[in-house]
């Protein structure tokens, strides 16, 4: 081959064609033995430079433009300068990575096998999914401006209730008796059941992905079987209407969708299958087939009204339309407008006194063709089922209903086998009911993973008032926010799980680390893609927005006053939990080859090292940004501390809230003071320092390890010097009182436990402190309840007051941290026999209380909940909160210590 020429790789804006980036790429043809030049899009591009093989799996938006291309150019130069021309397949593999904003990457390796594995894992088995978790069923690929799939349905027995009973977006208190995934694996698919009591029907969506051998390089094929069964209180001939839709964003030359078999439209509808064909830059050509009734026992209503001769409800109705780009996500209003158009025609023809029956009235008028949104409507009587089959032209064969049937069956079997090997509940929860419960919670955690794309509202005014340095700072900051010139930034992409499909269908930074704690045990490659996607959002200072409200659809769920993100607002950095867990796994026994699909990084340490090396600078940047922006003031006041730097306070403080801390209304010092120091803030810095120390050690970054070790020593010393109250036996916030003196403000609860929960206490050296903390945890007059550890002491004057959000309820994420620390302490011989014995007792009882509380509420209501009442155990606030509440899955799998010790790893 010709020597590497950097000009072959440099991004050149002058070479843009047809609205997307093009580059001239030199590729090596091994069969012809010659190099040639070809033009391809970044999504398809594959090239090898002097033995280095590069596979980009980005697109224009995810790559971020010229700046990121320059990063890749520099990376290629560095590789060649440091390593020279490698011999492919010879010696140890060398890899490097450049990140994309959607969490995908460009990998450079001298081993084509490695790059093929990464590409397959990143861009094949995880390309498609129900990545629109705000919908009861919504599918899309992890590609912006591509294909959106969804489902709506309603009971059509009367005229009055139909418009209120059309289901589409997940909503709270909408007449559901529970809904969610019973089995779900993001790589293969799963089965979801929606118990729609309001519409008197149970809807099952069985989703299957075909991504193995022969599936091509475009994400493979997928299908969904949609099945409806009337509930026990419904009439056997219940009338239901179901609307499947497909829409395309970014309509244009390389993004089209049309009904292909228009010539089969007769008598107002289609007798058999409806076939849509489309093309997208990232997906290539594809086909969507909405199957007809052949092979089913479906029944359809007969219409005696004169309108029945115009539209046979035994046929499938199709309406194609082109709507404004910014309105595509508003599917339900678009459908309603189409229904109204048909209703108006019926009323004009037959009058209001003689309308068609509701199941005929609420139908679309078939007009099939091209457009950017296509509705496919079916009307059923009684039980029904039909398939939707997506086939990529890159696959060797199209997906058939028989493939879907086989795939659904295999999904259930393989999920159950894998789940039993990873999360099987331990005694006393080793009965079938807890196993089904655990599978449901975990499946819904995975089923809440979504792909989001769009712009966000950011205030980068950097007003001096945002420093919050003056007394009364919250009033000054509020005035500055009111006059700020908020801008739209982006678009950005995010691949993430969410807290709740109906109420919080978007990414939250501090939630995500908790979400991923169970996921990292199941699929480490998926976990790392999500982590990378989050850190791809980091700005040059190190800030990551705590709430990712990307695009108009996401903003529609958020009150305007909460939409703006501020670059001086921090959030608990829980993703550091996950990276610490990753390093721990790398040092454990290597996984078996059967885990290759889920854990390629663990099977190849060089790839894992490259991942960490790419992410490590971003972790350090975020750590340094947090330390700088949330710095507290130690030296200006009479405070006794060995270290004068390690003190922190959250910005975004008001008298009633510190939303940035994650524990919104938890009581703090009153009134707020710029001299405050928050014990949870310094504890999170300690967690980051611990994680960076561990990663630095793995990467052999000796100077960094020395620095983080020194900082961690200072943090631990100051936690004791600045925050420990010997009188109260817990850690407390610090403030400056009316005499301008340091004062501890102790509200016993979760805040008081943070140094313990985050593992910043030494079981041997801090034994006395730990003993007092354990006494507080186990005290029924303080934090202990029969349903978990309360967020605030029952003896605190603020207990249960005002919003009562973090002022009494039991939260599973905090209880998980507590129970994890207890089980570790119970088995640590350096902790001392008394603390071990106490920890064992507390752990055993707390584990049982937590599991029983969440299980009983789930069984009674059909939902996991955001929090639980400490007096009754009832789930409350947000329903279908299968974010961090699903961490109960890990608690179920923890060891039974009631009859002695069992060695387990540190759960954190």
Closest CA to 704 of 694, 717, 715, 714: 694
80-94, 555-569, 766-780: lowest mean pLDDT where?
A: 80-94
The mean per-residue pLDDT over the stretch 870-880 comes to 97
Backbone conformation region of residue 358, classed left if phi is above 0, alpha if psi is from -120 to 50, else beta: alpha
DSSP state of 609: H
| Residue corresponding to tokens 């680390």 | 513
Residue 593, classified by CB atoms within 10 Å of its CB into exposed (0-12), middle (13-18) or buried (19+), is exposed
pLDDT band for position 908 (cuts 50, 70, 90): low
The Cα 10–Cα 229 span in angstroms is 58
Task: Indicate whether 546 pLDDT > 90.
Answer: yes
For residue 173, what pLDDT is reported? 86
pLDDT tens string 732-752: 999 999 999 999 999 999 999
What is the sign of the dihedral through the CA atoms of 405, 408, 411 and 417?
negative
pLDDT band for position 410 (cuts 50, 70, 90): very high
For residue 225, what pLDDT is reported? 99
The Cα 807–Cα 732 span in angstroms is 16
Whether residue 512 contacts residue 534, with contact meaning beta carbons closer than 8 Å, is answered with yes
pLDDT band for position 901 (cuts 50, 70, 90): low
Q: Nearest 5°: phi and psi at 102?
A: -95, 10
The Cα 215–Cα 125 span in angstroms is 10
Q: Nearest 5°: phi and psi at 260?
A: -85, -35
Task: Indicate whether 97 pLDDT > 50.
Answer: no
pLDDT tens string 451-501: 999 999 999 999 999 999 999 999 999 999 999 999 999 999 999 999 999
The Cα 229–Cα 243 span in angstroms is 16
Angle separating helix axes 524-535 and 605-629, nearest 10 degrees? 40
Provide Rg for the chain, Cα atoms.
Answer: 29
Task: Indicate whether 347 pLDDT > 80.
Answer: yes
The Cα 895–Cα 436 span in angstroms is 19
Task: Indicate whether 5 pLDDT > 70.
Answer: no
Dihedral angle at the C-alpha atoms of 698, 699, 701, 704, nearest 10 degrees? Answer: -60
Whether residue 819 contacts residue 843, with contact meaning beta carbons closer than 8 Å, is answered with yes
The Cα 263–Cα 313 span in angstroms is 19
The mean per-residue pLDDT over the stretch 141-155 comes to 96
pLDDT band for position 594 (cuts 50, 70, 90): low
What is the sign of the dihedral through the CA atoms of 537, 539, 541 and 546?
negative
pLDDT tens string 810-822: 999 999 999 999 9
Q: Output the average pLDDT for the chain.
A: 88
The Cα 442–Cα 184 span in angstroms is 8
pLDDT band for position 383 (cuts 50, 70, 90): very high
| Residue corresponding to tokens 């009734």 | 293
How many C-beta atoms lie closer than 10 Å to residue 267's C-beta?
A: 13
Structure tokens at 855: 């299980």
Residue 759 β-bridge partners: none
For residue 117, what pLDDT is reported? 57
For residue 604, what pLDDT is reported? 78
Task: Indicate whether 618 pLDDT > 70.
Answer: yes
pLDDT tens string 695-744: 999 999 999 999 999 999 999 999 999 999 999 999 999 999 999 999 99
Q: Domains along the chain? A: 6-123 (no CATH), 131-415 (2.70.98.110)
CB contact burial 784-823 (16+ within 10 A = b; e otherwise) = bbebbbbbbbbebebbeeeebbbbbbbbbbbbbbbbbbbb
How many C-beta atoms lie closer than 10 Å to residue 232's C-beta?
A: 6
Structure tokens at 9: 């790789």
Residue 685 β-bridge partners: none
| Residue corresponding to tokens 């069956």 | 409
Tell me the catalytic residues. 664, 866
For residue 276, what pLDDT is reported? 98
The Cα 33–Cα 214 span in angstroms is 26
The mean per-residue pLDDT over the stretch 543-565 comes to 95
Task: Indicate whether 88 pLDDT > 70.
Answer: no
If one compares 78 and 852, the residue with the highest pLDDT of the two is 852
Task: Indicate whether 405 pLDDT > 60.
Answer: yes
pLDDT tens string 750-797: 999 999 999 999 999 999 999 999 999 999 999 999 999 999 999 999
Q: How far is CA 284 from CA 122, 143, 521, 905, in A?
A: 17, 12, 34, 46
Specify the 3-state DSSP secondary structure of 188: coil
Residue-by-residue DSSP string for 27-56: EEETTTTEEEEEEE-TTT--EEETTEEEEE
Structure tokens at 525: 């490659």
How many C-beta atoms lie closer than 10 Å to residue 903's C-beta?
A: 6
For residue 115, what pLDDT is reported? 39
For residue 54, what pLDDT is reported? 41
The Cα 465–Cα 202 span in angstroms is 54
Task: Indicate whether 409 pLDDT > 50.
Answer: yes
pLDDT tens string 295-321: 999 999 999 999 988 899 999 999 999
For residue 245, what pLDDT is reported? 99
For residue 39, what pLDDT is reported? 31
For residue 606, what pLDDT is reported? 85
Structure tokens at 223: 């299908």
By percentage, how much of the chain surpasses pLDDT 90?
Answer: 79
Residue positions counted in the chain:
908
For residue 120, what pLDDT is reported? 55
Closest CA to 716 of 661, 775, 761: 761
For residue 124, what pLDDT is reported? 84
For residue 377, what pLDDT is reported? 99
How many C-beta atoms lie closer than 10 Å to residue 747's C-beta?
A: 22
CA atoms within 13 A on the CB side of 280: 26
Whether residue 507 contacts residue 515, with contact meaning beta carbons closer than 8 Å, is answered with no
Residue 128 β-bridge partners: 141
Q: How far is CA 684 from CA 569, 623, 661, 662, 689, in A?
A: 14, 10, 10, 12, 9
pLDDT tens string 23-55: 222 222 223 333 233 333 333 323 333 333 443
pTM, rounded to two decimals: 0.87
The Cα 838–Cα 775 span in angstroms is 9
For residue 254, what pLDDT is reported? 77
């Amino acid at each position: 081959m010709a020597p590497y020429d950097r000009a072959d790789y440099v991004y050149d804006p002058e070479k843009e064609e047809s609205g997307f980036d093009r580059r001239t790429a030199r590729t090596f043809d091994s069969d012809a033995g010659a190099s040639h030049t070809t033009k391809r899009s970044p999504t398809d591009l594959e090239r090898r430079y002097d033995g280095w093989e590069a596979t980009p799996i980005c697109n224009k938006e995810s790559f971020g433009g010229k700046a990121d291309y320059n990063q890749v150019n520099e990376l290629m130069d560095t590789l060649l300068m440091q390593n020279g021309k490698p011999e492919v397949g010879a010696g140890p593999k060398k890899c490097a990575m450049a990140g994309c904003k959607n969490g995908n990457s460009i990998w450079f390796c001298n081993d084509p096998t490695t790059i093929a594995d990464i590409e397959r894992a990143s861009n094949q088995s995880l390309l498609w999914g129900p990545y629109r978790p705000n919908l009861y069923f919504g599918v899309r690929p992890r590609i912006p401006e591509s294909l959106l799939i969804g489902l709506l349905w309603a009971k059509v027995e009367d005229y009055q209730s139909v418009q209120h009973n059309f289901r589409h977006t997940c909503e709270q208190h909408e007449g559901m008796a529970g809904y969610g995934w019973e089995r779900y694996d993001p790589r293969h698919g799963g089965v979801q059941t929606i118990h729609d009591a309001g519409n008197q029907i149970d809807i099952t969506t069985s989703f299957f992905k075909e991504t193995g051998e022969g599936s091509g390089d475009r994400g493979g094929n997928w299908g969904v079987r949609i099945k409806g069964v009337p509930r026990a209180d419904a009439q056997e001939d219940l009338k239901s209407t179901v609307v499947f839709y497909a829409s395309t964003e970014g309509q244009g030359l390389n993004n089209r969708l049309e009904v292909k078999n228009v010539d089969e439209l007769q008598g107002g509808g289609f007798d058999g299958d409806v076939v849509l064909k489309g093309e997208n830059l990232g997906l290539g050509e594809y086909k969507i087939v909405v199957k007809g009734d052949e092979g089913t026992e479906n029944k359809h209503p007969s219409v005696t009204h004169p309108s029945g001769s115009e539209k046979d409800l035994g046929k499938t109705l199709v309406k194609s339309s082109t709507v404004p780009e910014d309105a595509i996500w508003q599917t339900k209003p678009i459908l309603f407008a189409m229904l109204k158009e048909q209703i108006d025609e019926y009323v004009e023809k037959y009058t209001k006194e003689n309308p068609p029956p509701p199941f005929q009235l609420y139908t679309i008028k078939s007009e099939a063709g091209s457009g950017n949104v296509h509705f496919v409507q079916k009307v059923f009587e009684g039980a029904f089922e039909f398939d939707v089959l997506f086939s990529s032209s890159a696959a060797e064969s199209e997906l058939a209903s028989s493939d879907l049937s086989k795939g659904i069956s295999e999904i259930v079997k393989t999920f159950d086998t894998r789940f039993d090997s990873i999360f099987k509940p331990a005694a006393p929860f080793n009965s079938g009911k807890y196993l089904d419960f655990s599978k449901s919670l975990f499946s819904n955690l995975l089923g809440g993973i979504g792909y989001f794309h769009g712009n966000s509202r950011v205030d980068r005014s950097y007003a001096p008032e945002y420093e919050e340095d003056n007394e009364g700072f919250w009033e000054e900051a509020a005035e500055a926010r009111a006059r700020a010139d908020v801008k739209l930034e982006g678009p950005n992409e995010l691949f993430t799980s969410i807290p709740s499909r109906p109420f919080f269908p978007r990414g939250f930074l501090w939630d995500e680390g908790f979400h991923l704690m169970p996921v990292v045990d199941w699929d480490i490659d998926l976990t790392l893609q999500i982590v990378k996607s989050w850190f791809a959002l980091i700005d040059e200072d190190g800030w990551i927005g705590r709430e990712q409200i990307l695009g108009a659809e996401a903003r529609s769920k958020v009150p305007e006053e909460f939409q703006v993100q501020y670059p001086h607002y921090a959030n608990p950095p829980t993703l550091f939990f996950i990276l610490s867990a990753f390093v721990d796994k790398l040092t454990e026994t290597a996984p078996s080859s059967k885990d290759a699909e889920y854990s390629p990084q663990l099977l190849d340490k060089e790839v894992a090292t490259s991942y960490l090396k790419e992410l490590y600078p971003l972790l350090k940047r975020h750590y340094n940004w947090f330390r700088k922006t949330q710095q507290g003031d130690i030296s200006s006041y009479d405070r006794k501390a060995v270290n004068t730097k390690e003190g922190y306070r959250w910005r975004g403080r008001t008298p009633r809230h510190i939303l940035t801390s994650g524990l919104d209304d938890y009581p703090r010092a009153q009134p707020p003071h710029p001299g405050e120091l928050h014990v949870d803030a310094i504890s999170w810095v300690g967690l980051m320092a611990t994680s960076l120390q561990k990663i630095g050690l793995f990467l052999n970054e000796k100077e960094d390890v020395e620095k983080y070790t020194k900082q961690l020593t200072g943090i631990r010393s100051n936690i004791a010097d600045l925050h420990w109250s010997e009188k109260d036996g817990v850690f407390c916030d610090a403030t400056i009182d009316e005499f301008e003196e340091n004062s501890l403000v102790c509200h016993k609860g979760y805040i008081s436990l943070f140094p313990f929960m985050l593992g910043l206490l030494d079981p041997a050296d801090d034994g006395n402190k730990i003993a007092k903390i354990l006494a507080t945890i186990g005290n029924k007059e303080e934090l202990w309840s029969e349903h978990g550890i309360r967020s605030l002491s029952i003896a605190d004057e603020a207990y249960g007051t005002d919003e009562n959000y973090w002022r009494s309820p039991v939260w599973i994420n905090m209880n998980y941290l507590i129970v994890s620390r207890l089980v570790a302490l119970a088995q640590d011989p350096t902790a001392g026999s008394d603390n071990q014995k106490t920890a064992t007792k507390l752990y055993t009882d707390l584990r049982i209380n937590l599991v029983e509380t969440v299980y009983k509420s789930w069984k009674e209501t059909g939902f996991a909940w955001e929090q639980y009442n400490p007096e009754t155990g009832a789930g409350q606030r947000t329903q279908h909160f299968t974010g961090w509440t699903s961490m109960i899955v890990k608690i179920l799998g923890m060891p039974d210590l009631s009859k002695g010790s069992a060695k387990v790893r540190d759960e954190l």
